[in-house]
Structure 1
């Protein structure tokens, strides 16, 4: 009988349970109130929890990433897991408490705490607690985040000392010899031959892959990163010339606490707010050189097969035209969410069109197009900034996020005085349902007070989603939003004209006629259909609000997904590295898979 994959179905973010507190907390002794709530965690009771309480755990209790909704489910899971892990010494971290305010009637007290566990993995842990008044004079815990910090026997996953700076040529010529760079020598593949062995092979040397490799290096895990590009950062410098990040570079704090990538400063303060492709490539190369990351360029993974008896992968690669076979216990895929293959829309009569048709993947510069007329199909981030200087028309529809709104959200969290380690924990450990609601509340308030901006775009023919649901765009649509850094003004003044009332149906001699990935698939190309069929899907959220497939077991031993944006790659790589290290040490995590209480989305 064929195996039926038990993949988590995607769940609509907007339908996840949870609500924002409707209360205006006055100035109170928030440190004392938070300290009392933290101490109660040592003997948690349902009376301590708000009716809509949420607990999100990252490896500290559950050995994986889980979110629990409602007092009954939280208490059932907490009680069972506390007997196994023996959490103790819950202590408020000084000077971390505050009253968080999101408008006149949304607020809570928030504070960081620490504790330890004494189960299979004697561990140090941290957390964030959020409390609210219940209207009857009592303070209840509304939100708990618990986070594994480190395991007693392991090195610190957050600390890696720089090595002597290596020759840049070593990291960029694309012919670094894999055998010469191996740190764990040779091992038998179980079939009588020896192969170069690594504890882990990471596929992809972008932001996610390099963060992953750095974390593994910090834990003394031998690692090789392979990338098909011939230079570090080639996945960025190979795009169009004006390409830029649409998230800020998230600078380090004044005390040189780790910044945009793990362990230390990579992009200096004088770099632009939005890094371009060359900035990114330079930073990635600096990271590789500074920490001695083992990267093999011009190297593509052709296939990988699993030996169940020896619990290892045989990974076949092409390094600059030379075929090699490597052995690894773990294989981490940092190859993007599956949208890297260009998709050219198919319209009839293309042969009739006398002009040039180019996909954005092949677009490099506006220079050859100056003075010409053209059509841009699509209004996401790729469709606007530089391309619009050359073309006169574009199609709609987009969720528009003005740059001021972005900075309103992120600049207070990530700036020159931010403790990045702490801020990542506070921001990234929150339940996605709460982040979604808080973001939508802010966007709705900002856009409602700024209606003329969106009205003027609609008068110009641009159909606007003015209350942009960023979480839906990022986690469910894989895009479809535009961070407005200037193109909207050109639409309003007529510099860019809009055709938004129709869809393309066919080419004409002079233009177009109008009518009025998934990473699992890429993984399957490497590991084959049999193993690929066992793997979890990647991206989108499950019914608990956790990202599917990312940074946790995905259905087969020794293979993992990593990815996401800059802060996700930096933060969650630490947890995946700890899981890999624990497995190599013969003490793997045992993920808690039970669903205490009723359905995962019931508020009990």
Structure 2
């Protein structure tokens, strides 16, 4: 049974009683036999149209996560009552029809797994069709007390819309036109890029991983798309960040849509190398990107169902565009969160936000006392940068606990068997990785977090001895929950923890933080004083909605929702789904999430364009 949560989305997975007559997957029946028999029963219930029969194939405490297959949204339904109510409204029109299980030898063919010692699942990937599309799903069956296998976890994800499939694989463009009529490839490419005789259907603001992934997906669906970005080059959103930045996610996890990194690419990518890859990606994928271009105003017409967007190009010229879809892809965070403090004007040193940090050099660091406020990824990286540049002292100010895992240990454990050199094809790993509801992933994450803690005991003990407070996340669920609910609060260790353990980077803890500045440093709320010549505020970023407000204005931002953290069902607020404002979407996240969810957002936009929603 579901335990009443102390916090939203704290769940305890049920432990199904052992059946009186055991028919486990490891004894009488094979996992394939069990899964196939269930799939046929499930299909019969769906074909009957009588959702009251779902109780014969699903547990009372079951979950169904759906990504755009059953509704043009991201949904998580928990409990048979909620699932039955949802299906009763959509099943008559969507006509869900399961097709087949993954074949033996394919990724995620039927198998038996035990996510917990007390819980056994028969699991398999499967394919399905609806009245509008085709997709893949994932089933997890648990055995009831009467020996019957019923669905405990279901996932359905749309891959394509019938009649509007991507121009990939066998549907790829011909390309071999030798006639000069209409121009050669380069001439036609320039006409498409300029939008001189046409308008973009979709206008994307931002040419980072979010905008690039989505533009590639939309163009594969035949939607004319334009990206505008105020940077001078594609990839500058990474190049202009601090000099020592390297991605904290491994390359095996962080591919882009359609074009994975080469097999000899480094495991962790330096920022400038990643920026160059983005620039090459934009060229190879033939994406239309206007650089050094800013949006100056935007308004939406309910009558025409279109936007009026005024932009300024690098030569100062103006252009007005009328897309039907507007996407903000400036990153999953909003504007920098820059606090101010009493007495700050009296401080004789330098204060700046972490977003402004470029590099610490011997000329800027030597002999200086550095205070970094904040202990997330950026705070640690900046502290390490100042220490290596020869600062006299570097101190981290920590207000609350921080989850720390080492890239070379826990980082690999996070993706083992799914996104590593032994894992399945990325497109299959993507289905598997999203197939559990987020609250269930958090619950199962407790065991993984505990295993990582044990593997990294030496590092964690050293941090605690140095005065650093380690936090393992709400309910002990670790990094993933922190990222999906807070967007931060963790550090993937790429070197700074060793400096903290050795006392080369010091830690000062004060839950209330800074009380105020004095000429030579800061006074903490607990009364302690920290001398400083430079104070770096690695204090994070506001909600992405603040970027919408800054770029597009109050009228649009007021109608749109906040972004990130989970809604009542357990899906992310605002991101990759209807924003609350017609024709306006948010797109963001790390490279992997941008790859995965750009598909679902592109399908929603295509559905809107062809009148399916």
Give the shorter-chain TM-score range: 0.7 to 0.9
- Residue 15 and residue 270 in structure 1: after superposition, are their counterparts in 2 closer, same or farther (change >3 A)? same
- Residue 530 and residue 13 in structure 1: after superposition, are their counterparts in 2 closer, same or farther (change >3 A)? farther
* Map of 1:594 onto structure 2: none
Report the aligned-residue RMSD. 2.8
Q: How do 1:448-597 and structure 2 match up within 5 A?
A: 451-466=457-472, 467=476, 469-501=478-510, 503-516=513-526, 517-585=542-610, 587-589=611-613
TM-fit CA distance, 1:389: 4.4
* Map of 2:440 onto structure 1: 434
Q: How do 1:395-414 and structure 2 match up within 5 A?
A: 395-396=397-398, 397-403=401-407, 404-414=409-419
TM-fit CA distance, 1:152: 1.7
TM-fit CA distance, 1:226: 0.6
* Map of 1:326 onto structure 2: 321
CA distance in 1, matches of 2:514, 2:174: 55
SS of structure 2 residue aligned to 1:385: helix
TM-fit CA distance, 1:163: 10
CA distance in 1, matches of 2:381, 2:561: 36
Note the residue ranges of structure 1 that are not aligned, 5 or more in a row: 1-11, 165-176, 187-195, 252-258, 590-604
2:344 pairs with one of 350, 353, 362? 350
Matched, 1:380 2:376: yes
CA distance in 1, matches of 2:325, 2:10: 35
Further displaced range: 19-28 or 363-372: 19-28
CA distance in 2, matches of 1:530, 1:179: 35
- Residue 181 and residue 26 in structure 1: after superposition, are their counterparts in 2 closer, same or farther (change >3 A)? closer
- Residue 346 and residue 183 in structure 1: after superposition, are their counterparts in 2 closer, same or farther (change >3 A)? closer
1:158/1:263 contact within 8 Å kept: no
Matched, 1:64 2:73: yes
- Residue 342 and residue 553 in structure 1: after superposition, are their counterparts in 2 closer, same or farther (change >3 A)? closer
CA distance in 2, matches of 1:202, 1:487: 37
* Map of 2:534 onto structure 1: none
Superposed CA deviations along residues 397-424 of structure 1, whole A, max 9, x for unmatched, are: 4122232122112132112343111111
CA distance in 1, matches of 2:6, 2:495: 30
CA distance in 2, matches of 1:385, 1:544: 35
CA distance in 2, matches of 1:578, 1:68: 21
Superposed CA deviations along residues 507-541 of structure 1, whole A, max 9, x for unmatched, are: 33332222323223322344443333222222111
Matched, 1:144 2:154: yes
2:383/2:395 contact within 8 Å kept: no
Further displaced range: 462-471 or 236-245: 462-471
SS of structure 2 residue aligned to 1:384: helix
CA distance in 2, matches of 1:485, 1:530: 43
TM-fit CA distance, 1:448: 5.2
SS of structure 2 residue aligned to 1:275: coil
TM-fit CA distance, 1:157: 6.7
Further displaced range: 16-25 or 128-137: 16-25
TM-fit CA distance, 1:182: 4.9
Higher RCO (Cα < 8 Å, 6 or more apart): 1
SS of structure 1 residue aligned to 2:71: coil
Further displaced range: 127-136 or 444-453: 444-453
CA distance in 2, matches of 1:245, 1:432: 24
CA distance in 2, matches of 1:508, 1:153: 67
* Map of 1:20 onto structure 2: 13
CA distance in 2, matches of 1:436, 1:157: 37
TM-fit CA distance, 1:376: 1.2
* Map of 1:32 onto structure 2: 33
- Residue 181 and residue 88 in structure 1: after superposition, are their counterparts in 2 closer, same or farther (change >3 A)? closer
Superposed CA deviations along residues 261-293 of structure 1, whole A, max 9, x for unmatched, are: 11123x222222121211211221121111101
* Map of 1:394 onto structure 2: 396
CA distance in 1, matches of 2:235, 2:276: 7
SS of structure 2 residue aligned to 1:552: coil
Superposed CA deviations along residues 202-260 of structure 1, whole A, max 9, x for unmatched, are: 11101010010000110111010111111111111111001122211226xxxxxxx81
* Map of 2:271 onto structure 1: 277
Number of aligned positions between the proteins: 545
CA distance in 2, matches of 1:163, 1:455: 60
SS of structure 2 residue aligned to 1:15: coil
CA distance in 1, matches of 2:135, 2:455: 42
- Residue 348 and residue 424 in structure 1: after superposition, are their counterparts in 2 closer, same or farther (change >3 A)? same
1:13/1:545 contact within 8 Å kept: no
* Map of 2:537 onto structure 1: none
Superposed CA deviations along residues 182-206 of structure 1, whole A, max 9, x for unmatched, are: 57654xxxxxxxxx51111111101
CA distance in 2, matches of 1:161, 1:83: 34
Matched, 1:298 2:298: no
TM-fit CA distance, 1:107: 4.2
CA distance in 2, matches of 1:268, 1:135: 49
SS of structure 2 residue aligned to 1:357: strand
Note the residue ranges of structure 2 that are not aligned, 5 or more in a row: 19-23, 46-53, 176-187, 388-393, 527-541
2:97 pairs with one of 88, 91, 103? 88
Further displaced range: 307-316 or 20-29: 20-29
CA distance in 1, matches of 2:199, 2:318: 16
CA distance in 1, matches of 2:228, 2:123: 42
SS of structure 2 residue aligned to 1:395: strand
* Map of 1:255 onto structure 2: none
Relative to the length of structure 2, the TM-score reads 0.82
- Residue 358 and residue 102 in structure 1: after superposition, are their counterparts in 2 closer, same or farther (change >3 A)? same
* Map of 2:50 onto structure 1: none
Superposed CA deviations along residues 351-395 of structure 1, whole A, max 9, x for unmatched, are: 443333332222222223145331111111001135324242111
Relative to the length of structure 1, the TM-score reads 0.84
TM-fit CA distance, 1:443: 0.4
* Map of 1:227 onto structure 2: 229
